[in-house]
Structure 1
């Protein structure tokens, strides 16, 4: 009997992946039920990546939306315990293909390019020799608006890799040109599922470029280094989060306020690690409810981050286990047995400046033959490590989630 593996690649243009001190608590953070508002999945995925990181790298970022899209495709190709585990980790939000399809449609709603660009696309690439259940294949294509293409993985693995990479590059406006590196697509590959995400938007109120000045930024080590610090005085939603040791949070909307960046700044008497340890979807959602519009002096460093991260262990810690084992059941896409996930990888790049933000994401799934109350005017000065997330407000999708500990790397 042929044994097949699913290899999930998440590549995100929109943020950097770094690592954390291995001395931190490495107990798993388990995904819980889906909440109204910020998804538990997004927070748990971020916290598990922080917990599992093995080195003291500076910045970290992921695209929960792209990871969710890839896992949702895998969910609708699975059955049995595999399906149950993936659903539990996703919080049940993606169990209904129509619901997730509506979320994708919401993200893809036609918007004037003069306002902002936000789009996502799915692709399904299968080996011409492999038998896919036609009904299930059509269901995935229709529900997820997927581009479907037959390739010769067995005879032309390298050409097939280039074809998939070309699809991703087109969908991400040439920001991700090599989702699959040389040799990652082999003769044993039978199916690749891809999600791509691209985002570019100007701030509702841009920062004044002439106000950007070098300013000391305090690193995790306690040392300081000069960074280009942007400044604006504006009326935005602002609050303090008692559950996160009185961290400040500010919402910076993009044009038309359909998408916003939220920046969570630890209190000076606290630390980034203490805030991350206390971080939950509940605490963030409560903060969003408490936030009020008020005048704020906002200081935020310019930053551009990029990198990659393997998500397998994080997803295992969150509760997806059978999908990575010989007990995996992906009969929802093919009657042949032996499908299992072997790798989940995400690569990210994000650039934030005075004008706005640009980011993109791509996720691929490969199946292969294997063996405090504020004052009237607040000051939000992000001159020390902070968290951020970018949310599509209508669907509550977290497009990007990360941390900045050194804006210059």
Structure 2
């Protein structure tokens, strides 16, 4: 999966203020550390699941890249892992093990109780709210559906739609519905992030410019321009450049730009150890660059993304658990 040199692989890592990224040389899922001279704090429950979470995120990304070569990819790995961890709590024994192993956990190394504690701790620590940062995250289970339910499928769908509309402030938009008479419960996991840049782009410096979406096609887009200091590095081994841009509220975005023809090499090298290496090599530099305003929205089907997680009762008399179906995402990057 090669990409033109001007189109970046964009990896977005969102930070929670209370989970430090590098603790005993382990990178925490969706977390970035504070200043380099700060001393590490005490280990938190979420740290015990950090490396497995990052491995799961990168494996899922690579699977998406293989299934849809040349297409934009947008997903929230922590939303998927949290939803599956929540499902595992009520699943039969064999199904519970398969779900957690599908998330990359070795239950002989990390006990199930510590995994569940880590996810619960992560869900409590990630949300944040301030004048320049809004990060909300929650789950809600809609039960009592199916053929024996007192409400119709249309009524159930209406309640779910109203809940999602309210919780995401109408940002999610239309998404595919596939409730059927066999659906007995729906687990809704939602995340809403609105974060201002720590060093905002000057809107007066934004102007229309050409942006190349592939080797042969260019489109006119609002191009933001900025001259500011950011952490930056060029990785000669992976032949890519990494730009760290900070948001308000201890939240960070990494943009990773592979050299022309090196996208696949970079994708194969996306590991927790890669993030640790980059974090140690990033240096503050004065940069003068252009960046396009863009938005991405995608919907994925979990049963297509996670074929390795085959969930069933496992033993006679145990109920089955069918993972389904939709995982919509929407993102907007602007000044």
Normalising by the smaller structure, the TM-score range is 0.7 to 0.9
Q: Aligned pair count?
A: 283
Residue range with higher mean Cα deviation, 87-96 or 288-297 = 87-96
Q: How far apart are 1:342 and its partner, in Å? A: 4.7
SS at structure 1 position matched to 2:135: strand
Q: 1:260 to 1:76 in 2, by over 3 A?
A: same
Residue range with higher mean Cα deviation, 74-83 or 86-95 = 86-95
SS at structure 1 position matched to 2:195: strand
Please give the alpha-carbon distance, in whole angstroms, between the structure 2 residues aligned to 1:281 and 1:272. Answer: 18
Q: Partner residue of 2:252? A: 260
SS at structure 2 position matched to 1:73: helix
Deviations 1:74-123 (A, max 9, x none): 121224343223222323389432221111111124x32x1210011111
Q: TM-score, normalised by structure 2?
A: 0.75
Q: How far apart are 1:260 and its partner, in Å? A: 1.1
Please give the alpha-carbon distance, in whole angstroms, between the structure 1 residues aligned to 2:127 and 2:236. Answer: 36
The equivalent position to 1:171 in structure 2, one of 163, 167, 173, is 167
Contact 1:201 1:254 in 2 (8 A): yes
Please say if 1:126 is aligned against 2:119: no
Pick the structure with more strand per residue.
1
Q: Partner residue of 1:350? A: 331
Contact 2:92 2:319 in 1 (8 A): no
Q: 1:190 to 1:156 in 2, by over 3 A?
A: same
Please give the alpha-carbon distance, in whole angstroms, between the structure 1 residues aligned to 2:303 and 2:59. Answer: 13
Q: Partner residue of 1:97? A: 116
Following superposition of structure 1 onto structure 2, how do residues 57-206 of structure 1 map, counting pairs within 5 Å? 58-92=71-105, 95=112, 96-109=115-128, 111-112=129-130, 114-127=131-144, 153=149, 155-176=151-172, 178-179=174-175, 181=177, 184-206=178-200
Please give the alpha-carbon distance, in whole angstroms, between the structure 1 residues aligned to 2:157 and 2:325. Answer: 17
Q: Which runs of 5+ in 1 are unaligned?
A: 1-14, 16-32, 131-151, 355-409
Please give the alpha-carbon distance, in whole angstroms, between the structure 2 residues aligned to 1:336 and 1:307. Answer: 38
Q: Partner residue of 2:209? A: 215
Please say if 1:249 is aligned against 2:262: no
Q: How far apart are 1:247 and its partner, in Å? A: 0.6
RMSD of aligned residue pairs (Cα, Å):
3.0
Q: Partner residue of 1:42? A: 57
Deviations 1:146-204 (A, max 9, x none): xxxxxx746411101111121111111122355562xx223332111111111111100
Q: 1:188 to 1:85 in 2, by over 3 A?
A: closer
SS at structure 2 position matched to 1:343: coil
Please give the alpha-carbon distance, in whole angstroms, between the structure 2 residues aligned to 1:45 and 1:282. Answer: 17
Please give the alpha-carbon distance, in whole angstroms, between the structure 2 residues aligned to 1:38 and 1:215. Answer: 38
Q: Partner residue of 2:284? A: 293
Please give the alpha-carbon distance, in whole angstroms, between the structure 2 residues aligned to 1:218 and 1:36. Answer: 35
Contact 1:215 1:229 in 2 (8 A): yes
Q: How far apart are 1:288 and its partner, in Å? A: 2.2
Q: How far apart are 1:39 and its partner, in Å? A: 1.0
Following superposition of structure 1 onto structure 2, how do residues 317-328 of structure 1 map, counting pairs within 5 Å? 319-321=308-310, 323=311, 327-328=312-313
Contact 1:154 1:186 in 2 (8 A): no
Q: How far apart are 1:336 and its partner, in Å? A: 6.7
Q: How far apart are 1:124 and its partner, in Å? A: 1.3
Following superposition of structure 1 onto structure 2, how do residues 5-20 of structure 1 map, counting pairs within 5 Å? none
Please give the alpha-carbon distance, in whole angstroms, between the structure 2 residues aligned to 1:39 and 1:71. Answer: 15
- The higher relative CO (CA closer than 8 Å, separation ≥ 6) is in 1
Please say if 1:339 is aligned against 2:333: no
